[in-house]
A and B are shown apart, each in its own frame.
Chain A
């Protein structure tokens, strides 16, 4: 292997070993966007202050996410002898004093906050972390360093197998690298599943210079944060993956396009790139091998459609991120009309693992057609909103029951969205589908990039459809009328249904729009109506109820419901009147009532007086022609 790299990795291992054998307690605090939202910065500061003030023999480090996003801040405590590591959750700043006292000063466990034993033996009170239902069946390869290494420390990465895959790739020619990638069967993780090796081969065979790589870190699907977990937790995995791609596809420069909503991921990727330059792993004549490769972070500015690869390219080299018309494909004419390869964060991040351990090892983890592991995040009406990495194969039901902790309040799952606003919507009856690509393709939808949203009967299907199509309308680039005008029309129809003005022809109207929008220029427009299309199949009754019966069974659609005083004597009615932002909760001659003209259906009153108020239907059903005739009307 390249001597310079061997030396760099050797030095890193020595530093890591010194840290591991320091004889000091090690406190690894998860510091990422999810944990910061739950106070991890305060926890970190409190731990550092406490350790300094009490001169404790402990080191406080930062690390990436364990995936337990709903129980942050997480702190992993490794004993001074290095024989035992315990993972703790919900270590908020106010608990730090006691935490330090018990865990570091007295050297005991703190079972009430413990999630499990990471290293060492289970105790009577604390089971092994591997036995936690959230961890069972997970295979953490991409996430292997998360919880252990400091994402801002390149030596930590190098000491744990980092840049070894790149070292191996340096000794292979481009054809061999691509063959290894093809053998692995790695499919693109951004939603399409196209073999990464084939895309790299397209780029390699393009006959123009320079060639560019782009890492798609726009992760615009609301409810998906797998790419963020990786960038914030192990940014060098992406740098190394792109270096391997640069060798395989003979690229000269790369861009990592990160949405502006991810400032910490941007900082961590920038730091990783700067550190890689400082070690001679990027730039000209990398490690004396003659390889030149520059890597940049490009910060987005808020546009979903820039996640579409040609929109992304336009966003970098032009002004507005409007998708181009294909062909030409990026591999022929991409960035500055030069050959370009676009892959998702998770796609590139797998390359170091494939190179390090070989295609056979990498793909052996799963029997499915899709090879390797996949990261998923779960949100919506579930108990656990976390991030996991599993081999392809488990069903949505497993994901829900085991990894998302089931539905909140033990309710039934009414439905779910597999992966982003373009992916579609399925009924809870479909929970036995596997988390692989084909079942969704068969339904005219797709699995998406990993963010699964579950909902229960408090969600209205029509409202969710309106919401997702309105999102697509907002995010339409505006180039083709089919997309921006079509989505606008669909939103108008759904708004009218929600307002109580649904007409029997509306389902046909929406069907027409479904058929029209597939003629949009890019996939954004082509998939805008997927949610409506699939929900019309999966939840047809609910559409008919809204349109004909004027009923919203979830009590969501503003024009179909009404707030009403149910009990004049219930507690909380005064408070309800006080909280109402429009003065709709009123009293006349001692009797409470709701002024329906003022009511905006925000429901604050019902929060104050759950027994005093109720939501009731507002409109009578429209008599259908058939019903009217039968009634002799």
Chain B
């Protein structure tokens, strides 16, 4: 998440992976775990290492929702899109948070301080409706609580 890694650094990072062994996803995970996202040079480094084309590696990046091509915002809100959360008003919470943050789902603020994206149910449905703030569950929300939280996130740092 810091400065751009050098080409050498990227090559070293993925040096353990081999072609035709199902290593595309593990390599992408490793890059994302290290830098928070998958840059174009990282895609090229993986392609070279695995003896394939950047297009095919990018094809994988774009297929899976967890892989991101830009650094995450400082505060990432993952909104639970699951059924229990929806039945507890989750979709109204999404509308209200998006209106408060003035962001589309999947968007982030210009200053990269906050963003909101879709999350999937992981079976903590007793906490519905919920969001994850940088991976931590914030559950049993009401629309009002969600708006207050979004206002705080948006106004935070001012």
Residues of A within 8 A of B (CB): 33-34, 37-38, 69-70, 72, 220, 222-225, 228-229, 255, 259-262, 298-303, 315-322, 336, 377, 379-381, 385-386, 417, 451, 453, 455, 458-459, 463-464, 467-468, 471, 477, 579, 581-582, 600-604, 607-608
How many chain B residues touch A (CB < 8 A): the figure is 50
Query: Is B86 in the interface zone, CB < 8 Å from A?
Result: yes
Q: Mark B103-139, 1 if CB is under 8 A from A, else 0.
A: 0000000000000000111111111101000000101
How far in angstroms is the closest Cβ of chain A from B51? Answer: 13
CB closest chain-B residue, reference A477:
B63
Q: Give chain A residues whose Cβ lies under 8 Å from the Cβ of B20.
A: 336
Query: Is B15 in the interface zone, CB < 8 Å from A?
Result: no
Q: Contact at B120–A380, with CB atoms within 8 Å?
A: no
How far in angstroms is the closest Cβ of chain A from B153? Answer: 13
How far in angstroms is the closest Cβ of chain B from A259? Answer: 8
Q: Give chain B residues whose Cβ lies under 8 Å from the Cβ of A477.
A: 63
User: Which of B86, B91, B120, B122 has a CB less than 8 Å from the CB of A33?
Assistant: B122
CB closest chain-A residue, reference B28:
A301
Q: Give chain A residues whose Cβ lies under 8 Å from the Cβ of B89.
A: 603
Within B27-54, which residues are at the interface with A (CB < 8 Å)?
A: 28-29
Question: A581 to B96, alpha carbons, bound, how many Å?
Answer: 6
CB closest chain-B residue, reference A455:
B87
How far in angstroms is the closest Cβ of chain A from B26? Answer: 7
Q: Check A316/B22 contact, CB under 8 A, given A222-B83, A301-B29.
A: yes
DSSP majority for the B interface? Answer: helix
CB closest chain-B residue, reference A223:
B83
Q: Give chain B residues whose Cβ lies under 8 Å from the Cβ of A315.
A: 25
How far in angstroms is the closest Cβ of chain A from B151? Answer: 8
Question: A301 to B31, alpha carbons, bound, how many Å?
Answer: 13
Q: Can you list 28 pairs linking A and B with CB atoms under 8 Å apart?
A: A33-B123, A37-B127, A37-B137, A37-B139, A38-B126, A69-B125, A70-B126, A222-B121, A225-B122, A228-B122, A301-B64, A303-B65, A319-B57, A319-B60, A320-B63, A321-B63, A321-B64, A336-B20, A379-B128, A380-B83, A385-B125, A385-B126, A453-B84, A458-B87, A464-B86, A600-B95, A603-B89, A603-B143
Q: Mark B66-108, 1 if CB is under 8 A from A, else 0.
A: 1100000000000001111011110111011001100000000
Question: A318 to B81, alpha carbons, bound, how many Å?
Answer: 28
User: Which of A451, A582, A607 has a CB less than 8 Å from the CB of B144?
Assistant: A607
CB closest chain-B residue, reference A470:
B81
Q: Contact at A579–B125, with CB atoms within 8 Å?
A: no
Q: Contact at A303–B123, with CB atoms within 8 Å?
A: no
Q: Contact at A222–B87, with CB atoms within 8 Å?
A: no
Q: Contact at A379–B84, with CB atoms within 8 Å?
A: yes
Q: Give chain B residues whose Cβ lies under 8 Å from the Cβ of A607.
A: 142-144
* Most A Cβ at <10 Å: residue of B57, B99, B122: B122
Query: Is B59 in the interface zone, CB < 8 Å from A?
Result: yes
6 tightest A-B CB contacts, nearest first: A225-B123, A301-B64, A302-B65, A379-B125, A222-B121, A70-B126
Q: Give chain A residues whose Cβ lies under 8 Å from the Cβ of B81.
A: 222, 471
CB closest chain-B residue, reference A600:
B95
Please give 5 more A-B residue pairs, beta carbons under 8 A apart, in addition to A319-B59, A380-B84.
Answer: A37-B126, A69-B123, A319-B60, A386-B126, A467-B83
Q: Give chain A residues whose Cβ lies under 8 Å from the Cβ of B123.
A: 33-34, 69, 223-225, 228-229, 377, 451
Q: Contact at A69–B83, with CB atoms within 8 Å?
A: no
Question: A477 to B63, alpha carbons, bound, how many Å?
Answer: 8
User: Which of A72, A302, A602 has a CB less than 8 Å from the CB of B143?
Assistant: A602
Question: A458 to B91, alpha carbons, bound, how many Å?
Answer: 13
Q: Give chain B residues whose Cβ lies under 8 Å from the Cβ of A467.
A: 83, 86, 91
Q: Contact at B56–A319, with CB atoms within 8 Å?
A: yes
Q: Give chain A residues whose Cβ lies under 8 Å from the Cβ of B96.
A: 581, 600, 602, 604
Q: Give chain A residues whose Cβ lies under 8 Å from the Cβ of B130.
A: 37
CB closest chain-A residue, reference B90:
A467
Q: Contact at A34–B126, with CB atoms within 8 Å?
A: yes
Question: A298 to B21, alpha carbons, bound, how many Å?
Answer: 12
Q: Contact at A417–B83, with CB atoms within 8 Å?
A: yes
Q: Contact at B95–A299, with CB atoms within 8 Å?
A: no
Q: Give chain B residues whose Cβ lies under 8 Å from the Cβ of A459.
A: 87
Question: A301 to B63, alpha carbons, bound, how many Å?
Answer: 9
Q: Contact at A301–B67, with CB atoms within 8 Å?
A: yes
Q: Give chain B residues whose Cβ lies under 8 Å from the Cβ of A379.
A: 83-84, 125-126, 128
Query: Is B14 in the interface zone, CB < 8 Å from A?
Result: no
Question: A603 to B60, alpha carbons, bound, how many Å?
Answer: 39
Q: Check A581/B60 contact, CB under 8 A, given A299-B26, A380-B83, A385-B126.
A: no
Q: Give chain B residues whose Cβ lies under 8 Å from the Cβ of A316.
A: 22, 25
How far in angstroms is the closest Cβ of chain A from B19? Answer: 12
Q: Give chain A residues whose Cβ lies under 8 Å from the Cβ of B26.
A: 298-299
How far in angstroms is the closest Cβ of chain A from B143? Answer: 4
Q: Contact at B84–A223, with CB atoms within 8 Å?
A: yes
Q: Contact at A319–B22, with CB atoms within 8 Å?
A: no
Q: Give chain A residues whose Cβ lies under 8 Å from the Cβ of B120.
A: 220, 222, 259, 261, 302
CB closest chain-B residue, reference A228:
B123
Q: Give chain A residues whose Cβ lies under 8 Å from the Cβ of B86.
A: 464, 467
Q: Contact at A319–B63, with CB atoms within 8 Å?
A: yes
How far in angstroms is the closest Cβ of chain B from A461? Answer: 12
Q: Give chain A residues whose Cβ lies under 8 Å from the Cβ of B137.
A: 37
